[in-house]
Amino acid sequence: MLTCREVTLLLSQAQDRRLSTVQGVRLHLHLAICKGCANFGKQMDYLRQACRLFVAESPGNDPAA
């Protein structure tokens, strides 16, 4: 079983790369039983989406220009 520290590292890495099958399964098993890590993962997803929207809607980022 992964520790919470290992899970936070994998969640961070999963934002930038595809995890191996074994890593993905171990991660999902941990997230299924650990509400703290599951919430951390949701927060990371939310922040990433918010940053993408901010960059996309920032002045000077008009793709038509």
Its pTM stands at 0.77
Is residue 62, in this structure, part of any structural domain at all? no
Domain span at residue 30?
Answer: 4-57
Instruction: Give the model's pLDDT for residue 31.
Output: 97
Per the domain annotation, does 13 fall within a domain?
yes
How far apart CA 53 and CA 64 sit, in angstroms, is 17
Number of domains in the chain: 1
Q: Are 29 and 62 in contact (CB under 8 A)?
A: no
**Does some domain include residue 41?**
yes
Cα gap 27→6, rounded to integer Å: 9
- Reading the chain (65 residues) residue by residue, the pLDDT tens digits are 899 999 999 999 998 999 999 999 999 999 999 999 999 999 999 999 999 898 887 776 655 55
